[in-house]
Amino acid sequence: MKLVSTWADARASTVDRGTVGLVPTMGFLHEAHTALFDAAVAANDVTIATVFVNPLQFNNVDDFVAYPRNLDRDLDIADAAGIDTVFAPSEGEMYPTDMSTTVSTGAVATRMEGEYRPGHFDGVATVVAKLFAGLRPDTAYFGKKDAQQLAVVRTMARDLSLPVDVVGCSTLREPDGLALSSRNVRLDPARRSEATALSRGLQAAADLVAEGVVDAAALVGVVRTELDRAGVSPEYVELADQAGAMPISSVDRPCFLAVAAWIGEVRLIDNIHIDIIAGLPVPDRGVTLSSRSVLYGGS
């Protein structure tokens, strides 16, 4: 595996080498990233992962500073997964000092995360547009855990005519249901237990969907009840369509039921995607690990 830090070297590592799979990450990799790597390696001639903690997408500077980093370990994980190249640019390599142009995400980014993290998705869309434009992948892999981000990135690629197929991969979960996230390491044991209310609520809603319930208010209600029970007050619980990330009142198209909440000092999000297969709503509950994530320990 090759580590590169410049656009020129990153481009050289993918050009004229067949189909290119890209996995953009902010590093501090865990099993959910490994699952993205596996999907990319399986389907492409050459793969490139990026490790870049993107300052543009942090609306909160404390969160940017606190975001965990460990490049050496990231390289070991990417290498073990069979990734061909890791592109880990400096901030100066990613953004010109007199950067003027940015990507504006528009309607798809106004609700949910867009409402609570102003500017966040413009930052995401800008850095991902650059990676799509500069590295020209055929396919890029993102986690479904960031459901609205997936919608934003797909919409961005379509609207800016970037010919990249954007694949969403199922959420990975700890044995107790908590969705894997690099931020989980910042939860102390008590908060860690409180945090499981998010996935418990979503799984209860998925049970309802499996029983034929399609009403958004009913699904949102069961999530809110579970959060209340744990003393967690969410920023939002919303049923939104996968294409436009806009609120819908019924499970009548591909959608996701999403929640965001502060657990102590850590802001967590989780969701369950619901696809329509053969006319029936099918929830994607995610993949539950049989034992605690080894990559960031848990505890």
Q: Return residues touching a second copy (CB under 8 A).
A: 7, 11, 95-96, 98-109, 122, 125-126, 129-134, 136, 155-156, 158-163, 243-244
172-173 and 287-288: which strand pairing? parallel
Handedness of CA 243, 248, 251, 253 (dihedral sign): negative
Q: Of 135 and 232, which has the nearer Cβ to a second copy?
A: 135
Element (H, E) at 154: helix 147-159
Q: Of 129 and 268, which has the nearer Cβ to a second copy?
A: 129
268 SS3 class: strand
Between the alpha carbon of residue 258 and those of residues 25, 60, 64, 181, 205, the distances in Å are 21, 21, 23, 15, 11
Between the alpha carbon of residue 240 and those of residues 109, 115, 140, the distances in Å are 12, 14, 23
Give strand pairing partners of 275: 282
30 a catalytic residue: no
Q: Which of 30, 33, 120, 273 does the annotation list as catalytic?
A: 33
Between the alpha carbon of residue 185 and those of residues 69, 108, 128, 244, the distances in Å are 11, 30, 25, 31
Inter-residue contact 200 to 223 (CB < 8 Å): no
Buried-exposed string 152-172: b where 16+ CB fall within 10 A, e elsewhere:
bbbbbbeeeebebebbbbbbb
Catalytic machinery residues? 33
